[in-house]
Structure 1
């Protein structure tokens, strides 16, 4: 990639809570690809640039591609979630990213169904299994979120109803929030507890 054009847009000052300040400069940068000769436009934020040339030193704080618009990336789930839950979520997210919102709705419903299995939920159908989670100590807002995902998936399967991109995104975010509470947060706390135990053990061994 070669820089073919650079334009200074604005000089900024960032103030931290400590009162310390630093100067930023915002550029637009046009680059040409050596392979395809296509052009890209980036918004480039730099700290304290005395001068910007091939020999200068600078710190990039942000680099955002604005043209061509980058391809949307499928949303991801934490690696602390069970593998099959992550796999189904990834497939649903791929459908969402491609604009297949009915399939995404069905996929996110399947994620919830897998989570209920992982949590040992009981019942003859998904509605009953989701509801049973409350008796296992799962917060009611998560139970409600899972029912939302269930209904959206059912609407897609039985009625061919396609929800909007924002509505499907909301379901995905609700699931990710639930996964944080059910899997990520407990795992993080277990790691911290293990780290504290290891520190105590090391301190006793050295004393």
Structure 2
């Protein structure tokens, strides 16, 4: 007879996780063909092109253009350096750093800052340079928003920035042996 308070069976769940990374530094141009790689290339290109558009404008030294250039240059350097880190698998070498969380915070913040910058230069002066900068700022905003969404989903899933993590879950039900009467 079963004792009160003890179930007739219990379930054991075992979760195992294995992380596979290669810690050697190597150049891998195939990263540019992935969705995060394509987004980084778009972000770097739009940041540089938007910066140049404001730079050649005769109104570029005013506050809206200065703000846009400040946002564009920080985005250009931060994203460009990250692109280089991914291309040479340095992110994978230092996989213990929470790269996805860092990138998520940056891309979410830069989505908002680029949106503000694109609106400011779009409504400031109606010359061709500001119109082009608005276009590049808007494309950068969309690219950063998509990247932030991808980073958010990867962080929630427990993914790695580079390398692979395999999580397996095994559930077993065990029943105690029955006593004879």
**TM-score for both structures, normalised by structure 1:** 0.26
Of Structure 1 and Structure 2, which has the larger fraction of its residues in strand? 1
Of Structure 1 and Structure 2, which has the larger fraction of its residues in helix? 2
